[in-house]
Amino acid sequence: MNYKKINNLLGWACGIIATLVYVLTLEKTTSWWDTGEFIASAYKMQIVHQPGAPLFLMLQNIFSNFAFGDNTKIAYWMNVGSAVCSGLTITFLFWTISALAKKVYGRINTSGELSNTAIINIMGSAAVGALAYTFTDTFWFSAVESEVYAMSSLCTAVVFWAILKWDEHADEPQSNKWLLLIAYVMGLSIGVHLLNLLAIPALALVVYFRKTNKVTTSGVVKTLLLGVVILGFVLWGIIQYLIKLAAHFDRIFVNSFGLGFGSGVTFFALLVLGVLVWGLWYSHKKIKPIMNIAFLSVAFIIFGYSSFSMILIRAKANPTLNNSDPDNAFSFLSYLNREQYGDEPLFNGRYFDAKPTDMHETGKVYRKDANRYNVARKKYDYTFDRTTLFPRIYSEKHEAYYRDFLNLPEGTAPTMGDNLKFFFGYQIGHMYSRYFMWNFVGRQNDAQGHGQFTEGNWISGIKPIDNMLVGGQYALPESEKQNAGRNTYFFLPLILGILGAVWHFKKDQKDATVVALLFFFTGLAIVLYLNQTPMQPRERDYAFAGSFYAFCIWVGMGALWISDMLSRKMNAKTAAMAATGVSVLCGPVLLASQNWDDHDRSEKFLARDMAKNYLESCAPNAILFTYGDNDTYPLWYVQEVEGFRTDVRVVNLSLLSSDWYMKQMMEKVNDADALPLNIDPEQIKDGVRDVIYYNDFKIPGHVNIEELLAVMLSDDPQAKVQLQSGEFGNLLPTKNMQYKVDKAAVIANKVVPKEWEDVIVDTMQWTYPGNIVSRADLSIMAILANNNWKRPVYFTTTTPEENYIGLGKYLVSEGFALRLMPVASAMEGEMSTPIADVEGTYNNIINKYKWGNIAHSKYLDPDSYRYISIYAGSIFGETAQGLLASGHQAEAKKLVNNAYENLPKRTYLMSEIYGYSSLIDAMYKAGEPSKATEIVKRNLKFIRENMAYYMAIAETKPNLEMRNMRYAMASLQHYQQILTTANQKELLAEANQIFDQYKGLFQTGE
C-alpha cells in the first residue's frame, strides 16, 4: 500500500464527509447569541464586540459572495464558511492521528517500511478519531453557525499538525519553515480567537523531545515553564504591550511634541520594524540560528496579528456597528484588553462576603480629545478585610448561589475549604467535567440550567450508573424521553479514549505527554484562567473544544489498543480490520446516531423571524430599546444584511451606558434618524457623567424631567457632589419625575389608538427606581423630554422592567414590543402589566408575524422554546381575550386557530403551561373546544408526569425543583377555573386530582 497516497485521500475523505454533514444540518439563517452580530459585521466589514475577530470577519465576507446578491442567503453561506472550516479541522485531525500512530509503528518496524497491517491500523485509528470528533456535541454545534469557534478549531488543528510535520523533518535542511508556519498561523489566529495560543506549551515539549539527547524531568519542567513564558509573551507582550507602548508613544508625541495623532504609533511601528530587521541581520551575520528563528517567529506572529489593522481602518469609517469605536491608540488598547467586561482575580482576591477597607489608584484611562490625549478617569481598586490565594468564590453578586451550593448558612464566613469545594464542584465539575462527559458519555437533556438535578447533567444510558447520578431510577416523564437532547453513548467513546491514552503512553510516552498537555491547556487551564462565576447566561462548552479535540486523538488510538488485543487471538490483519470496525461503531456511528436529531438546525428560523417580529411590532421611524444579546444581535442581522425595517432605530440599553455608543446614537444610520437627545457629546464623553448619583434633596411633589436633565447636565459646581474618589460629579436631586403631555402632539402623531384619545393624561408621573443614573437612563429621559411624541418609542417585551426607568405603567403592548403611551394612569391606575392594543396586535399576528417554523421543526433548542410561553400567553392568549371582550368573536376564533397551527404540538417547559392559560380559555370561549381540550390534556399529562418525577427526586435532593412545582400548581389553579367555566367535567376532575395530590406540600410550607 502507498501510505502517503492513502493518508491524503482518507484525510480529505473524512473532511468532505464532515463538511457534507455540517452543510446538511446547518442553520439556513442567523442563529441566537453572537451570530447575528458576526454575520452583519462580516457582510459590511463592521466592528464586533471586544476583543474583535477581524480575520474571521474578512474570511466570512468572502463566503458571503456566494449568495450572488441574494441578501437572504448571506447568512447561509457564512454558516457554510464555518462548515468548511470545521471539515478542514477534521482533515487535519486525521493527519495528526495518523502521524502520531505512524511514529509508533515506524519504530516497531525497523525496516523503515510499514506493513499493510500497520497501514490499516493507522488509517483506521485516524478515521475513528477524526469522525468521532466530527459528531461530538460541542464541535458539531459550533460547526453549523457563523461563529469564531469553528475557525479557531481549524487554527489549532493546523498548528498541532504542523509541529508534527516539523518533528518528522527536523533533521532535514529548512525544516524550520514549519516553525515559521506555526508562528504565522498563531498570529493569524489572534484575529479569530485566542484559544489557539494555548497549544504553545505542548509545542515547546515536542521541540524539546526532538532536540534533546536525553530526556530528564528537570528538562521537561524547564521546557514547560519556557512554553508558558512564550505563551505569556505572545498573550501579553505582543498582543497587549505592543499596543500599550504604541499608545503611550502616541500620547508623548501628541501631548509633548505637539505632533498629530498617530505620529507616535508610526514611530513605534518603525522602531519595532527596525529592531526586527536588526535582530535578523545580527543573528544571520553572527550565525545564531536560535536567535534568528526567534526573531523570524516574532515577525511572523506580528504579521499575522496585523489583521487587526482592519479594526482601526473600519472604525475610522464609522460604520453602523462600531463596537467601542476603537479609532485611536487608547480606545484600540481598551478594545483589545476587553476592558468593558472587567477582570476576574486569579492569584489573590477577596471572598464574596469581604468588606472594603481602603481604595487605591491602579492606573489611568486616556481619551482622545480635540488635539491631545487627556485622562478620562482614574482606575481604582479596593483593599478588602478578607482575601485568599486562588480566589474562586469572589463575586459579591452571587453570594446566595455560593451559599446554596456550599451549604453555607447566612452569616457564616467562607473558608479556603469552601473556595476549593466550589472550584472542584462547580468550576471543574459543572463547567468542565459535565461538558466533557456530554461529548463522550451522554447528555441527560438540552435544558440549560445551573446545576439542577433535572437540567443538563451527563448520563450514560447504563441504568445502574445513571440511577446514582441523575435520578434514572425514577419513571421518566414522556417529555424527557422525547427530548432530542437526551443522548446516551454508554461510556463507549470515553472508554475508547482511555484505552487509546493507555496505548499511547505505553508505546510512546513522549508524544502521549504532548497530547496530554494539549488536553490540559485547552481544558482545565481555561477553567483556571476564566475563574467563572455561577449562573452563566448560556452553556460555555464551546470554550473547551480544543480539549475535546485532543481527547479524540486518543479515541482514535483506542482502535489500536483493541487491535493489539485481538491480534493475540487472530490474524493481525483481520484484527486490524475488526478493531477499526468495532471502533467506528462505538465512536462515530454511535455519536452520529444519537446527536443528529438535536444538531440538525436546517429547519430552524426563529432567531431571524423573532427579530422581524420585534421590528414589525413598531410603527414607522420608531425607537426600539433592547437589552440582551438575543433581542439585539438578530435585529442587527435583519437590518444590516436583509435590509428589513431599517427605519427603526435599534438601541441596546446594555451598550447605551457607554459614551461611544451614546454618541453613535446621535447620528443617522440607514433609514433611521438620530435619537432626539439634544445633548452635547462633550457632556457625556468618557470620564464625564459616567454615572450620576441620586442625592435626595427632599423636594416636594414631582419635578419636570426637563428641569432634572438641566441639573444632571449642568457644569455648575453647585449641581455637583463630591464622590468617593474625591472628584465631583452631577446628581439626581429627586426620584419623583413628571412630564407634561402635549395632547395635540400625541393625537397628531397617532401615538394612541383613536378610541383612547379621551383618556390621554395631562401629566405623566413616575418614580425613578434606581440610585444611580447611567447614560442609558439619561438617554431615555432626554428622548422623552425632546421627542414630543414625534417618533414612537418602544421596549422589547424581553427587556427587564428595571430598565424602564419607572415608566412601566405607560407601556402598552403592541405584540412583541411595548409602546410608550401617555394613557396608563387615566385608564388603569398604577398598573404593572401593560395594556394591550388589541386590534393592532391582532393585525400584526395575522398579517405580519412569522413563527420560525416552531410548529413543524423536528427540533427546537432551549433558546427557541423558551419563547413559547410568550407566544401562547402574551401574544395569542391576551390578544384573543381582548378581542372577545370587545365583541370580536370571529377575529378571536381566527386568532386561536392561528395559534393552534403555529405553536408546537408538544410541551417543553412548566412555565410554558402557565403561559397557555389565557389561550386555552380563549379557545373555549371562541368556539374551539376540541383544540383547547387537546392542549389541556397534553399539559395535564406533562404536569402529572413531571410532578411525580420532581417528588421522587425530592426524596434525595430536596427543593431542587420547587420553582417548577410552583409553576405547576399555579397553572392547575388557572386550569381549574377555565375548565369549570367551560364545563369540561372530565378534565376538571383530572386537574383537581393532581392539585389535591400536591397541595399539602405547599400549604404546610415544606
578 against 467, higher pLDDT: 578
- Plot region of 14 (φ>0 → left; ψ -120 to 50 → alpha; else → beta): alpha
Band (456; pLDDT cuts 50, 70, 90): low
Cell for 164?
Answer: 508534527
Which residue in 70, 61, 28 sits closest to 42, CA to CA?
Answer: 61
Query: What integer pLDDT is reported at residue 957 of this predicted model?
Result: 58
CB 440 within 8 A of CB 428: no
Mean predicted confidence (pLDDT) in 594-610 = 94
Task: Determine which of 456-465, 563-572, 767-776, 781-790 has the lowest per-residue pLDDT on average.
Answer: 456-465
CB 438 within 8 A of CB 137: yes
Letter for the amino acid at 87? Answer: G
- The pLDDT tens digits for 842-870 are 988 999 999 999 999 888 888 898 889 88
- 34: number of CA atoms within 13 Å, CB side? 17
- 105: number of CA atoms within 13 Å, CB side? 24
Mean predicted confidence (pLDDT) in 109-120 = 77
Place of cell 473544544: 545
Place of cell 392568549: 877
Which pTM value belongs to this model? 0.92
Band (60; pLDDT cuts 50, 70, 90): very high
Q: Whole-angstrom Cα distance, residue 790 to residue 442?
A: 56
* Helix runs in 26-172, H state only: 35-44, 54-64, 74-108, 116-134, 137-143, 148-169
Q: Is 429 exposed, middle or buried (0-12, 13-18, 19+ CB in 10 A)?
A: middle
Band (832; pLDDT cuts 50, 70, 90): very low
Band (891; pLDDT cuts 50, 70, 90): very high
121 pLDDT above the threshold of 60: yes
Q: Whole-angstrom Cα distance, residue 24 to residue 22?
A: 5
Place of cell 462565576: 533
Q: Whole-angstrom Cα distance, residue 688 to residue 800?
A: 27
Q: How far is CA 298 from CA 187, 291, 337, in A?
A: 9, 11, 20
CB 972 within 8 A of CB 1002: no
Angle at 355 between CA 353 and CA 360, to 5 degrees: 135
Query: What integer pLDDT is reported at residue 830 of this predicted model?
Result: 41
DSSP string, 568-590: TTS-HHHHHHHHHHHHHIIIIIH
Band (967; pLDDT cuts 50, 70, 90): confident
In this structure, the strands spanning 487-488 and 623-626 are unpaired
Cell for 147?
Answer: 461563529
CA 5 to mean position of chain CA atoms: 41
CB 796 within 8 A of CB 826: no
Cell for 540?
Answer: 460555555
Which residue in 292, 289, 296, 245 sits closest to 268, CA to CA?
Answer: 245
Which residue in 966, 952, 125, 150 sits closest to 504, CA to CA?
Answer: 125
CA 753 to mean position of chain CA atoms: 39
Query: What integer pLDDT is reported at residue 656 of this predicted model?
Result: 94
Cell for 661?
Answer: 455608543
Q: Considering only CA atoms, give the Rg of the chain.
A: 31
Q: Whole-angstrom Cα distance, residue 859 to residue 864?
A: 10
- The pLDDT tens digits for 412-446 are 999 999 999 999 999 998 899 999 999 999 998 88
Q: Whole-angstrom Cα distance, residue 635 to residue 644?
A: 9
Through-space distance between the first and last CA atoms of the chain, rounded to whole angstroms = 71
Q: Whole-angstrom Cα distance, residue 382 to residue 989?
A: 61
Task: Determine which of 109-123, 671-685, 860-874, 881-895 has the lowest per-residue pLDDT on average.
Answer: 109-123
Query: What integer pLDDT is reported at residue 831 of this predicted model?
Result: 39
Query: What integer pLDDT is reported at residue 463 of this predicted model?
Result: 78
Question: Edge to edge, what strands does the sheet with 649-652 contain?
Answer: 649-652, 623-626, 793-796, 817-820, 811-813, 835-836
Query: What integer pLDDT is reported at residue 338 of this predicted model?
Result: 82
Query: What integer pLDDT is reported at residue 469 of this predicted model?
Result: 63
Q: What is the mean pLDDT of the chain?
A: 90
Task: Determine which of 76-85, 373-382, 514-523, 776-785 has the lowest per-residue pLDDT on average.
Answer: 373-382
Mean predicted confidence (pLDDT) in 324-342 = 87
Q: Whole-angstrom Cα distance, residue 623 to residue 613?
A: 15
Mean predicted confidence (pLDDT) in 976-1003 = 88
Query: What integer pLDDT is reported at residue 475 of this predicted model?
Result: 65
Mean predicted confidence (pLDDT) in 369-391 = 90
- Give the single-character DSSP code of 431: I
Query: What integer pLDDT is reported at residue 1003 of this predicted model?
Result: 62
CB 673 within 8 A of CB 621: yes
- Phi and psi at residue 2, in whole multiples of 5°? -90, 100
Band (959; pLDDT cuts 50, 70, 90): low
* Distant-in-sequence, close-in-space partners of 449: CB < 8 Å, separation ≥ 6: 455, 456
Place of cell 388557572: 974
Which residue in 437, 345, 434 sits closest to 391, CA to CA?
Answer: 345
CB 374 within 8 A of CB 261: no
In this structure, the strands spanning 487-488 and 692-694 are unpaired
Query: What integer pLDDT is reported at residue 726 of this predicted model?
Result: 67
Q: Whole-angstrom Cα distance, residue 891 to residue 195?
A: 55
Cell for 257?
Answer: 511634541
DSSP bridge pairs for 382: 359
Query: What integer pLDDT is reported at residue 828 of this predicted model?
Result: 47
Query: What integer pLDDT is reported at residue 1005 of this predicted model?
Result: 45
Q: Whole-angstrom Cα distance, residue 271 to residue 939?
A: 70
Band (687; pLDDT cuts 50, 70, 90): confident
Query: What integer pLDDT is reported at residue 323 of this predicted model?
Result: 93
601 pLDDT above the threshold of 60: yes
- The pLDDT tens digits for 86-96 are 999 999 999 99
Q: Whole-angstrom Cα distance, residue 265 to residue 333?
A: 12
Band (114; pLDDT cuts 50, 70, 90): confident
What percentage of the chain reaches a pLDDT higher than 70? Answer: 95
Q: Whole-angstrom Cα distance, residue 306 to residue 466?
A: 50
Q: Whole-angstrom Cα distance, residue 591 to residue 131?
A: 9
Cell for 537?
Answer: 447566561
- The pLDDT tens digits for 173-216 are 888 999 999 999 999 999 999 888 999 999 999 999 998 888 89
- The pLDDT tens digits for 6-43 are 999 999 999 999 999 999 999 999 999 999 999 999 99
CA 339 to mean position of chain CA atoms: 18
Task: Determine which of 70-74, 302-306, 378-382, 917-921 has the lowest per-residue pLDDT on average.
Answer: 378-382
836 pLDDT above the threshold of 90: no
Helix axes of 74-108 and 3-25: crossing angle, nearest 10 degrees: 150
704 pLDDT above the threshold of 90: yes
